[in-house]
């Protein structure tokens, strides 16, 4: 897997983002005049650093520690017990999904528009759109990243995502925990000084006895940093599988 430079740079993103945020604020101000309610739009724009400079590297115990490790039901425990690393979708270049995608140790870009917020992830070259206009999820449309709606509340962005596909490693890349079409991921983004923070909460009644959550942060990207596309070669991605000790024959 390699990363190469992309022409869409930080300066261009910042310029677009400034216009988008201005438009979002204007739209919400107009809404405030109609509802007499003050809506604060936090400035989440920019390219953010989620590498080990900002937080511990992900692994079997990060971000899921002993204190917040998901409580699985019997179905979840059974799936985890028989999980075989060789069938993990990542070895076929399948991208990560929530809640693992947000913690992967790469850069991320946030762009705010009046009717949506766009998250671009360097990891797996994924883009998520969070709709702010009140639309409902399309019927019977399930995707890897699900369908996201959001709103601004208490100086934060609240995001709810549903309609995920079943994923044998949908919880993370390390613990063999699947997620189902009933998975719901809730995210709360806010600023603390120069940092961007998020709390990610996962619900999935098919595999979890109770919601599980973690909180993490991003730091501002270095000046001039450009997101690089993620290039995954299917042959190279499966190379590691050939050296694994088979669990089943």
> pLDDT tens digits, the chain, 249 residues: what are they?
444 433 334 444 444 455 455 555 544 543 444 455 678 899 999 999 999 999 999 999 999 999 999 999 999 999 999 999 999 999 999 999 999 999 999 999 999 999 999 999 999 999 999 999 999 999 999 999 999 999 999 999 999 999 999 999 999 989 999 999 999 999 999 999 999 999 999 999 999 999 999 999 999 999 999 999 898 998 999 999 999 988 998
Residue at 248 is within a domain:
no
The predicted pLDDT at position 38 comes to 75
Residue 249 in domain: no
Number of domains in the chain: 1
Strand partners, 130: 117, 148
Indicate if the alpha-carbon torsion angle 93, 174, 59, 190 is positive or negative.
positive
Beta bridge partners of residue 153, listed in sequence order? 156
- Which pLDDT does position 27 carry in this prediction? 46
The DSSP result for 69-94, as a single string, is ---B-HHHHHHHHH--GGG-GGGGTP
Residue with structure tokens 């740079």? Answer: 9
Domain extent for 12? 2-243
Q: Is residue 170 part of a domain?
A: yes
Whether 74 is in a domain gets the answer yes
- What is the pLDDT at residue 32? 45
pLDDT of residue 229: 87
Q: Is residue 56 part of a domain?
A: yes
**Residue 150: helix, strand or coil by DSSP?**
strand
Burial, 23: exposed, middle or buried (Cβ in 10 Å; 0-12, 13-18, 19+)? middle
| 44 class by beta-carbon count within 10 Å (0-12 exposed, 13-18 middle, 19+ buried) | buried
**DSSP reduced 3-state for 157:** strand
- pTM for the model: 0.85
Separation in Å, CA 78 to CA 82, 83, 98, 176, 202: 7, 9, 22, 10, 19
**What pLDDT score was predicted for residue 24?**
52
Tell me if 135 is assigned to some domain.
yes
Q: Is residue 145 part of a domain?
A: yes
Question: Is 208 among the domain residues?
Answer: yes
Q: Are 229 and 2 in contact (CB under 8 A)?
A: no
Distance of CA 105 to the CA centre of its chain: 12
């Amino acid at each position: 897997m390699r990363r190469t430079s992309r022409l869409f740079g930080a300066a261009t993103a910042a310029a677009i983002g400034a216009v988008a945020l201005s438009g979002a604020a204007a739209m919400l101000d107009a809404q405030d005049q109609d509802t007499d309610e003050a809506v604060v739009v936090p400035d989440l724009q920019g390219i953010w650093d989620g590498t080990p400079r900002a937080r511990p590297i992900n692994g079997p115990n990060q971000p899921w520690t002993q204190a917040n490790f998901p409580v699985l039901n019997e179905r979840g425990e059974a799936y985890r017990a028989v999980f075989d690393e060789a069938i993990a979708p990542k070895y076929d270049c399948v991208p990560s999904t929530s809640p693992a995608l947000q913690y992967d140790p790469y850069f991320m870009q946030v762009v705010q528009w009046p009717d949506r917020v766009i998250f671009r992830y360097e990891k797996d070259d994924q883009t998520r759109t969070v709709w702010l206009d009140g639309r409902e999820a399309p019927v019977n449309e399930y995707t890897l990243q699900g369908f996201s709606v959001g709103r601004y509340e208490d100086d934060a962005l609240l995001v709810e995502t549903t309609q995920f596909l079943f994923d044998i490693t949908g919880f993370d890349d390390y613990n063999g925990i699947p997620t189902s079409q009933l998975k719901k991921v809730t995210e709360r983004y806010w600023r603390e000084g120069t940092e961007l923070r998020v709390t990610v909460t996962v619900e999935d009644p098919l595999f979890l006895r109770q919601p599980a959550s973690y909180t993490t942060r991003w730091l501002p990207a270095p000046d001039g940093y450009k997101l690089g596309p993620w290039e995954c070669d299917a042959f190279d991605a499966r190379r590691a599988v050939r050296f694994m000790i088979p669990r089943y024959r």
